[in-house]
Amino acid sequence: EEWLLLRIGAVPRNSLGWFRCGVGFYNKKEYTKAIECFEKSVELDPMNYNAYQIMARACIAVNRKDDAIAALKQSVMLDNPSDWQLLVELTSNKE
């Protein structure tokens, strides 16, 4: 949180704020910072499958495949059908 406070001058107070910060960093290809924001977002709202979904893609971008798989599993457990395909693709060589 401190790095965001130093950079922006404030920090989000809710899950949606952290999610939107994560999307901003993701769009700027600052994936590690995006992941931190998404982690904070789901800590505040564990039902936010959108945060898990984009966190997984950020994890893939920084070669954190196992973390990506874990995030995708959370997303599909929350009934987000769009992540099934990527989850199957990432786990296909784990058999």
Instruction: Please check the confidence at residue 92 and state whether its pLDDT lies above 60.
Output: yes
| Sequence-separated contacts (24+) of 65-71 with Cβ below 8 Å | 65/90, 67/35, 71/38
Per residue in 42-89, pLDDT tens?
A: 999 999 999 999 999 999 999 999 999 999 999 999 988 888 999 999
In this structure, what CATH number is given to the domain that contains residue 15?
A: 1.25.40.10
Q: Where are the beta strands (DSSP E) in the chain?
A: none
Task: Determine the structural domain holding residue 25 and report its residue range.
Answer: 2-94
Q: How many domains does the chain have?
A: 1
Question: What are the backbone dihedrals phi and psi of residue 54, each rounded to the nearest 5 degrees, phi first?
Answer: -75, -30
Position 80 scores a pLDDT of 86
